[in-house]
Each structure stands twice: as C-alpha cells, then as structure tokens.
Structure 1
C-alpha cells in the first residue's frame, strides 16, 4: 500500500512537470512585458510561437508511425526535462530575440511532452494515468499560487486624479472626471528571476520523479503483466505490453466488435471529441477570457481567468479537481462522453456570447452576472477536463500508439483553436475589451 502511494506521488510529480514552464511564463508576463519592446503584444507572439513549436510532437508522432521502436522515448523525456532545467532560469532576459528564441525552444519541449509523457504512463497500471492528469492540472495551479504570493498582476483601481498629471489628458480625450478610476499594478514581492528559479526546482523534482519511476525497485510491481519476480530493479517497458481491452460503444463494452469499420468509427469519434475539447479549453476560449470576465470587474476576472493571471483561479482549480474525481469515478461510456461534451460546449457558447457582447454583457452591473461567469468558467473547465481523462483512459486500453496519437491530437486541437481565434482577436478586433474599474453600460 505504501509503495502504491509512492507511485501515485511520483506519477503526480512527473505530470506536474508537463506544462509548468509555459504556464509559469504566462503567469509572469506582467513583470516581463515592461522589459521588452513588444509590450503587451508579447502574449500574441507567444501564442504563435507555441503553435510553431508543434514541430516537436509532429516529429515524434511520425517517427512512431513510420519507424516504430527507432525513437528512444525515455531518452526524449530525459532531454525534455533536462532542457527545461537549463533554460527556464533565463526566460526573464530583457532582450526580445533571446527571449523569443528561448520561448520557442521551451515550447518545443513542452509540446513534445504531450506525445512522450502520456505514452510513458502506458507502462504503469491504469490508475496512475489519472494521477498523472492530476499532476498535469497542478502544472497550472502551482505557478499561479506562487505568483499570487509574489503579487504579480494584482490590480488596484485608483481615482484618476491621484495619478494623472496636469499635462495628461483623459484616456477618452475628455476632461478628467473625479469619478473615473484607472487600474494600477502593485509591485511584486520578489523578482522574476527568483520565480523562474522556483520553476527550475519543479523541473528538478519532475526529473527525480521520472528517474524513480524508471528504476525504483518498488515501482516495478505497479507495471502491468509484470512477470519478473526476482526482486531486481527492472524497467517497466521491458515487460510484456498489456493486452488490448475492448472499446466502448453506446455505453456498453464490445467483447467482439461487429466489424473493423465500427471499431474505427469509435476511434475517430473519440479523437474528434478530444480535438474539440482541447481546441476549446487550451486556446479557443482562453483567447477571449479577458473579454468575457473584465466587464464584470477585477474580482470576477481574477476568479475566472486561467494562465493569464496569477491567482488560484476557479479554472486552475477545476482541472485537478476533475482529474482527482476521475480516480474514483471513471465512466467509459461514449454516451456519457457525448452528453458531457454537449453540456460543456453549451457553457462555452455562453462564455463566448458574453465575450462578443463585451464591454456590456448580460447582467454586467449585477453581482449575479459576476457569479454566473465565474461558475461558467469553473464548470466549463471541470466538465471538459473530466472528458479528457475519460478519453485518455479509453485510449490507454488501445495501446501505446493510441496514446501517442492522443498527445498529437491534443496539440492539433490546440493549434486549430489558436489559428481560429488569433485573427479574430488580434487582426480584425472582433472583440472589445471591458474596463475592470469603470463601466459605461446602463
């Protein structure tokens, strides 16, 4: 039992290192942006850079497809974690070109983790895959908690007359109004360099966890179909692969598929669902997060938003909670999956609708409006995070290559969401930002 707990802890720590560097970078933007010429255009550049970095998972996926066994997956993971440790500390450099290059390289290894970390968990029992997802959820929450202590992004609404000098004009060109408030960032408690050293420490912990998952004598007992009982330390992937288990169809297990076509239809259906979920949760809706939340005030934005700010937000908390619940209640029904997708998508439609109506969404001057948007973001992330775990559990039963493609589809969905939203937000100005300190809506 104690060894089982140890393996769960190691799997969680390993998962926490999957996206912690990119998540941590987003959190620290309020301190980095003033030091670079791009200013607040930097987040848009980062979004594009992250999508270009998908050449990493594309290469790994193609290697697994056309030259299976040639690519040493374990060596790739060691490189990914080691490279993060070496580069994450210098992400706070002031010059734009070195910063953008470092972001590109760190994005490659983060994106590639989707097609390497997840397949590696195939070597352990199925319950540890859900623990891994809990850790992956914490990769967004932990940096947010640390940045909250740091004080990054904490905004105070102050009267314009207190900070605007006599030679400055009002933001909208009119005379200064004594009742007009402007946001002012509070100074950070400790530097960005110290924050990135903390991220490096997390990656060191991730590396240690990965080494122990490979070589700890007790972990071998958690490998499926373990046939080596001599007590010597062994590598999980040297054991026999787990037998393929039946897929699910209409909520019932198929012991003998009626046809190969039917089975492939199920797989395609699952991959489409996964691409849709990741497009919504990873890039699509987060692109308009500020538009949907800021009109309701600064507090609603801080409680609702994801990577872009530093608080222990509802979105960041919802992900690990959903993954933790899946450890005790996992349903593989495709009917349930479709139902949850529908509910999550409807909530997403509401969030998108409020973003389109910004700066005057529904109930903008009401407390209930702020409460609804916060709860909408929480349940949107909660429901769809649970769906992602269900998909991963099903695909795990299909074998190693299915999990490789699972990671590839995650990156594909994220890319499609980013490519769709980037021109709407940054080129065509389809959305209008709200003001967290003032509202002109009647």
Structure 2
C-alpha cells in the first residue's frame, strides 16, 4: 500500500513540476511530453491485452446456469509489473540525460516572470533585433504578462488567458477524472467485444493527437471553444449511456454499438487535442508560470472529477453495471 501511495503521489505531482521544467527546452519538447504521457497509458494497455486480462465468456455451471468465466492470464502479474518497471527506468534515464546535457535547451534561459520586470523597459528597434539576438517570443511574453498584471481579477478570468485556464480545468474533469470511472457502465451493455475494442482504440487517441499537435500547434479561440462544446456533448452522451445502463440507448442494435464506440473514440480525440493546444498556448504565452498552472489545474480537475464520480457510484448508486451472462428485456 505504501508503494502504491508513493507511486500515485509521483504520478500526480509529475505534471505540476515537470511541465515548468520543459519551459527551458525548445517548443517541440512539450509535444514530446504529451506523446510520452500518452504512451505511458498505451503501453500498459497493450501489455494487458497481451496478458489476456479481461477476456470473459459465459459458461454453464453444474446447475445449467450461465456464469461468467475469466480466462487465466498468459503471463504472471510479476512479469507485468517488471515490464512496467522497465518503462519507468527508461523514463528515469531519459530525465537524467536531459539534466546532464544541454541538448534541446533554449539559448536564452532567462526567466519571464513578471516579478523580475523593471518599470522602465528598454526600447528595441526592429531593425536591430537580429543583431542583438533578442527573442521576439520573450518580448511577446513580457507584453502579455504586463497586460495581465494590469487586469482586475474579474477581467482576468474573462480574458483569453483566464478562459483557457478554465478549459484546462474543465477538460481535466471530463477526460482524466470522470471518464475512466464510467467506462464499464457505458460500454458493457453493448457487449464485451465493444468494450475491449473501444478501450483499445481510445488508447491510440492521445498519441495521435500529440502528433497532430506538432502539425497544428495552435488554433483560433473560437475553434477551441467549438471543440470544447463538441467534447462536452460527447461526454454527456457517454455519461447518459452509463446512467441508463443496463438498458442504454440502442443497446441491442448495431447502430447503438457503432454510435457508442464512435462517441468514445471521438471524445478522447477532441478533449486530448484541446489539452495539447492549451499546453502549447501556455508555453508560448506564459512560459514557466503558465505551464505550472496548467499542471496544477490538471490535477485539481482530475481530483474533482474522480471524487464526483466516486460519490455518484458508491454512495448514490447512480450507475448499474450490465452482467454479460444475464438477459435483459430493454
């Protein structure tokens, strides 16, 4: 239990501490972080598939009743955790390599914190920027932070920066906090095959969106808002399917199976792509401070989403899981 608690603390605090650390590196490294974060969930899922976990079938017992039968794993739990340990060791070696070398670091590592800004700002002519090697991104960050400092609290939260912070918090509630807890309630009614195939497909969504973030590092605000509405709507549909379990919408029809699978995969793609876009935005606009708050709000949103779903499941008993070997009249 102690090891589990320690591992959980490391997992939860890594995004808060490591994201600001990446501000000293080139922009491509933030996309590499998102890709690595995605692979950290994809690899264990693939290992679980190779192990054969979750393969359930219905067999008749001595009395002739259908009961669930879980197939034995192809290799032991010890081998599974050893494989995960290799992944963690590779992560540790990669981090040590980053710390000991200057590979990929920005040429100018000065802090962009507004507390270090002086009242009198130097005037730089555009014709001399190239000669003096002044990074235009740093100038843009200074302008943005000075504007933030002049805002009141209400003005800040209704500004683009404040809205994006809220979107980071909101998407964390949906995709990290709430979504994993309703998977079985939402997908099991449509068959065990739909459940497994959909979950596997969802694990590929984050890596693909990380690659897409390299090609499309930013979008206009209106497009991000539209994507947020779409992602929220998809979450609402999957949540409704979980709430209505075991008689979810179109549960015994091919259209229903196709619709629920498509909704889950598209939800993962949309919400994770928003997170990649927001990470690129905060790195570009606020640097170290923006990435820090991006990580903090990610953890707060994840906690709130998980707690809410826990209360709905274990205390209010809002969801009912469909038994695969039981016939329902829906």
Instruction: Tell me the TM-score range normalised by the shorter chain.
Output: 0.7 to 0.9
Aligned to 2:68: 183
For the residue of structure 1 that corresponds to 2:215, the secondary structure is coil
**1:83-117 deviation line (CA, Å, top 9, x unaligned):** xxxxxxxxxxxxxxxxx222111111111101112
Aligned to 1:408: 296
The answer to whether residue 165 in structure 2 is matched with residue 165 in structure 1 is: no
Aligned to 2:223: 336
The answer to whether residue 14 in structure 2 is matched with residue 113 in structure 1 is: yes
Separation in structure 1 between the aligned mates of residue 182 and residue 291 of structure 2, nearest angstrom: 30
1:20-419 correspondence runs (5 A)? 100-158=1-59, 160=60, 164-166=61-63, 176-177=64-65, 181-216=66-101, 219=103, 222-226=104-108, 239-241=109-111, 243-244=137-138, 246=140, 260-261=151-152, 262=155, 265-305=159-199, 313-397=200-284, 398-419=286-307
The structure with higher relative contact order (CA 8 Å, sep 6+) is 2
CA-based RMSD of the aligned residues comes to: 2.2
- Name the one with the larger helix percent: 2
Separation in structure 2 between the aligned mates of residue 255 and residue 192 of structure 1, nearest angstrom: 50
- Provide structure 1 residue ranges, at least 5 long, that are not aligned to the other structure: 1-99, 167-175, 227-238, 248-252, 306-312
Aligned to 1:434: 322
Distance of aligned partners of 1:189 and 1:372 in 2 relative to their CA distance in 1, 3 Å threshold = same
TM-score, with length taken from structure 2: 0.85
**1:252-311 deviation line (CA, Å, top 9, x unaligned):** x98995963455532221111111101101121222111110000001111223xxxxxx
Distance of aligned partners of 1:439 and 1:118 in 2 relative to their CA distance in 1, 3 Å threshold = farther
Distance of aligned partners of 1:367 and 1:210 in 2 relative to their CA distance in 1, 3 Å threshold = same
Separation in structure 2 between the aligned mates of residue 422 and residue 245 of structure 1, nearest angstrom: 46
- Provide structure 2 residue ranges, at least 5 long, that are not aligned to the other structure: 113-136
For the residue of structure 2 that corresponds to 1:182, the secondary structure is strand
Separation in structure 1 between the aligned mates of residue 287 and residue 145 of structure 2, nearest angstrom: 17
For the residue of structure 2 that corresponds to 1:327, the secondary structure is helix
Separation in structure 1 between the aligned mates of residue 275 and residue 207 of structure 2, nearest angstrom: 12
Distance of aligned partners of 1:154 and 1:274 in 2 relative to their CA distance in 1, 3 Å threshold = same
Maintained 8 Å contact 2:209/2:273: yes
Maintained 8 Å contact 2:218/2:280: no
Maintained 8 Å contact 2:164/2:278: yes
Pairs aligned (count): 300
